[in-house]
Chains A and B, each alone.
Chain A
Amino acid sequence: MAFFLTLLALVVSLGLTWRYLGSYMAAVFDGRVHFLGFVERPIYRLLGTSPEQEQTWKRYGAAVIVFSGVSLLFTYAILRLQGWLPLNPQHLGNVGSALSFNTAASFVTNTNWQNYGGETTMSYFSQIGALMVQQFVTPAVGIVVAVVLVRGFARRSSSTVGNFWVDLTRCLFYVLLPIAFAFGIVFVGEGAVMTLAGTATVHDVLNQVTQTIARGPIGFMESIKQLGTNGGGFLNANSATPFENPTGLTNFLSIYLLLSIPFALTYTFGKMVGSVRHGVALLSVMALLFGVWVGFTSFAEHQNNPAVAAAGVHSTVGNTEGKEVRFGDTSSALFAVSSTMTSTGSADAAYDSFTPIGGMGLMTGMMLGEVTPGGTGSGLYTLLIYALIAVFIGGLMIGRTPEYLGKKIQSREVKLAGLAALVMPVVVLIVTAIAVSVAAGRAGPLNAGPHGFSEILYGLTSQGNNNGSAFGGLTGNTPFYNIIGAVDMLLGRFAIMVPVLALGGALAAKNVVPESLGTFRTDNAMFVGLTIGVILIIGGLTFFPAVSLGPIVEQLSHGRFF
């Protein structure tokens, strides 16, 4: 009952957010929001640009890539130098080169995969200046790339798609900063830690325990970690720790925050292209798949853990291994599905210890390409890719040149969409195959049997989809996993972004063909079903064999332990 009320509260709050944050973001990217003009203008002056200076998709894309490269360099440099930098009360040393490269790639691609334990590796300077900065920057980059694609549909015969620096600045200041700051206050009020002082030492005279407790500027990092679908926590155990996620309310708000922008962007899309119905169609695709995954994953986690059952302990509270008492089984599953289906990757429980079907829910949620609802911006643009493929298939069925929002989808567009859709599965399957073929890769898993394979598959799927969650038993801080993971993440981000930007440019240059009776409708239930079919078929065909070797075998091996 409580879980249904939680779901109801989530649907209501996300519904309102979808409508109002969605239209607000449309206003921001149309340049109709100005209340922070006094901050915007000096930044444009420093950069030597202005909202009037529009860019072609190539210049826009070059700016995205160069800026991301520079961000990578900044992040890497800070980690490598942290031992000599201030704000390091625990006197942690410089981070090694392979781990720094992996971590820099991870935070610059909005993945937030962590091959380190935060409290034992990263100084406050690194947490704030290298990692949290990217938690603001990368969701903004994702959103502005999505906005370019949306403008492709919205504009007619236009050679330009916007100005990257202006879009980025507006997204940062008008969307991410105010929301993150406001929710940061709530997180701290509930109990999240927020201090620049070092560790605390306590001694309990009742039981003679002395503890040194890691602290840090955590509470305000939490809000942007979730809002930006980043997921990289300050502490090793992420949102499972009470200092990051102290109460049932913060757990709910975490789920709400990480879902809010990805869902709301479909309204922004509808508003900007002048057809909210099209936004609703995309929202329906996202919400239907999301709902199914929440359903079966929380059902699976409400079952007892096989090892606990075999040890003779009956459970009415589901699988408790790796879960926190204050959240419970179903809310932990809801958090997990929300986090994996949004490319967030934060965790309020140990996903490695989920039941086989529960863990499969998380893994396959990522394998659908992070579109349900996906990451900030990346969810919308990847879903639009699938929508174009659905339009193309629909066009083939009725024998007409496919159109979407009046734009003809021709050979170039279909090729770009196909390329963008295939990058992730190809990269993930190849790196997984490499990892299981070499000794360095097989050394990674903690668990034996099919679950060990699941740990490798999960880790490389997570990184290729820029999710960042893990089956935590995988030992990732080795040269092999640090480097193959970084390649996986960089390709999973930028090898998709570039064709998306090219698509935005190609579409913006087109004029609109008037709608006729024969036009294939792209705003009705039929189209929603077709798009869901495309997502499931691409995801299923590419990943079913791999998934059957991992969680499916594990589920079917009744009574066996590995």
Chain B
Amino acid sequence: MLLHLRRSFTMALICLVIFGFAYAVAGTGVAQVLFKFQANGSITAHGSTLIGQNWSSPRFFHGRPDDFGPYAANSATHTSGGDNPLVANGVNGGSGATNLGPRSKVLLANTRALVAYWHSMGVSPTPDLVTTSGSGYDPDISPQDALAQIPMVAKARGLSTTVLSKLITEQTHGAQFGFLGASFVNVLQLNEALAKLG
């Protein structure tokens, strides 16, 4: 028994050093040398391309409704933080979904409120635009989600729908290698390109 204990303590320490710290430090070193940009969070001039932001102005395409935004009925989900990595605009959060079940009255009320919101913006919403994501800060929308928002952005900016749909096509990332995952548009990149159009 004592021998087992002595060996267990020794082995636990060895593991702590090698599989904890040496592994993490070596991994960080390799990551920082090979992929500095990704390893530090893919942070560009306007934020991380991997962390969704709250776009509330009709002059921009909106991400998925994970945020506080203009969605009154979403108040029940505020604890999950929305587009809220740790703190967003002074409000504390963290990653996470609403965890509302498929037959939840709260989910139904939230979804109805979102549908009404989108209709008030002149948009006929797609499923992604009325449901929240798994992380709570999904940085992407599908090309269909972007196309659906064209009437809103076109009206606010006075741009033609053809210019906007061309922009969306340019910004669409296909499924990786043609089949892994789904095709998507990064909302931050789309809006940066949109801002350049004027």
Footprint of B on A, CB under 8 Å?
1-2, 5-6, 9, 43, 46-49, 62-63, 66-67, 69-71, 74, 117, 119-120, 128-129, 132-133, 136-137, 165, 168, 172, 177, 180-181, 184-185, 188-197, 199-200, 202-207, 209-215, 217, 219-221, 235-237, 240-243, 246-249, 251-252, 304-308, 310-315, 317, 319-328, 331-332, 347-350, 352-356, 359, 446-449, 451, 454, 471-473, 554, 557, 560-562
Contact = CB atoms under 8 A, between A and B. Distances in A.
B124 to A, nearest CB: 9
Given A200-B43, A322-B133, 14 more contacts: A128-B21, A191-B38, A194-B35, A206-B192, A214-B94, A252-B181, A308-B130, A313-B126, A315-B126, A327-B182, A331-B181, A447-B99, A471-B101, A554-B103
Contacts of B100: 307, 321, 352-353, 446-447, 473
Contacts of B108: 307, 310-311, 561
A123 B97 CA distance: 22
B149 interface: no
Determine chain A's interface SS by DSSP, over half rule.
Answer: mixed
A219 B47 contact: no
Interface in B150-169: none
Given A306-B102, A308-B131, A313-B115, A194 B32 contact: yes
A189 B38 contact: yes
A120 B130 CA distance: 27
Given A352-B101, A561-B105, A324 B35 contact: no
A220 B94 contact: no
User: What 7 pairs between A and B have smallest CB-CB spacing?
Assistant: A248-B181, A240-B134, A220-B27, A350-B97, A328-B182, A248-B180, A451-B101
A137 B99 contact: no
A204 B39 contact: no
B16 interface: yes
A321 B107 contact: yes
Contact of B48 (A200, A314, A326, A449): A200
A188 B19 CA distance: 18
A245 B110 CA distance: 27
B138 A325 contact: yes
B171 interface: no
A70 B12 CA distance: 7
> Which residue among B25, B53, B101 has the maximum number of chain A CB atoms within 10 Å of its CB?
B101
Interface in B1-15: 1, 3-12, 14-15
B133 A71 contact: no
Interface string B119-133: 000000111101111
Contact of B184 (A203, A240, A249, A325): A325
17 contacts: A47-B10, A47-B11, A63-B7, A67-B7, A211-B47, A211-B83, A211-B88, A212-B88, A213-B41, A240-B135, A243-B51, A252-B181, A307-B108, A317-B127, A353-B97, A451-B102, A561-B104
B103 A449 contact: yes
Nearest to B26: A181
Given A66-B4, A350-B97, A560-B103, A195 B32 contact: yes
A204 to B, nearest CB: 4
Given A189-B35, A237-B95, A326-B184, A205 B46 contact: yes
Contacts of B107: 305, 307, 321, 353
Contact of A213 (B4, B15, B26, B85): B85
Nearest to B46: A204
B89 interface: yes
Contacts of B86: 119-120, 199, 211-214
Interface of B: 1, 3-12, 14-16, 19-21, 23-28, 30-32, 34-35, 38-43, 46-48, 50-51, 53-57, 60, 64, 83-90, 94-105, 107-108, 111-112, 114-115, 125-128, 130-142, 144-145, 175-182, 184, 188, 191-192, 195
A194 B192 contact: no
A332 B96 CA distance: 16
> Which residue among B28, B134, B137 has the maximum number of chain A CB atoms within 10 Å of its CB?
B134
Contacts of A46: 10, 14
A215 B40 contact: yes
> Which residue among A132, A213, A356 has the maximum number of chain B CB atoms within 10 Å of its CB?
A213
B97 A251 contact: no
Contacts of A209: 47, 53-54, 83, 88-89
B140 A472 contact: no
B41 A243 contact: yes
A319 B133 CA distance: 11
A136 B19 contact: yes
Contacts of B88: 209-212
Nearest to A7: B179
Contacts of B38: 188-193, 246
B3 to A, nearest CB: 8
B171 to A, nearest CB: 13
A356 B128 contact: no
A213 B41 CA distance: 9
B111 to A, nearest CB: 4
Contacts of B104: 307, 447-448, 451, 561-562
A126 B160 CA distance: 53
Contacts of A172: 15, 19
Contacts of A314: 127
Given A200-B43, A246-B50, A560-B103, A308 B111 contact: yes
Contact of A306 (B103, B112, B114, B125): B103
A315 B182 contact: no
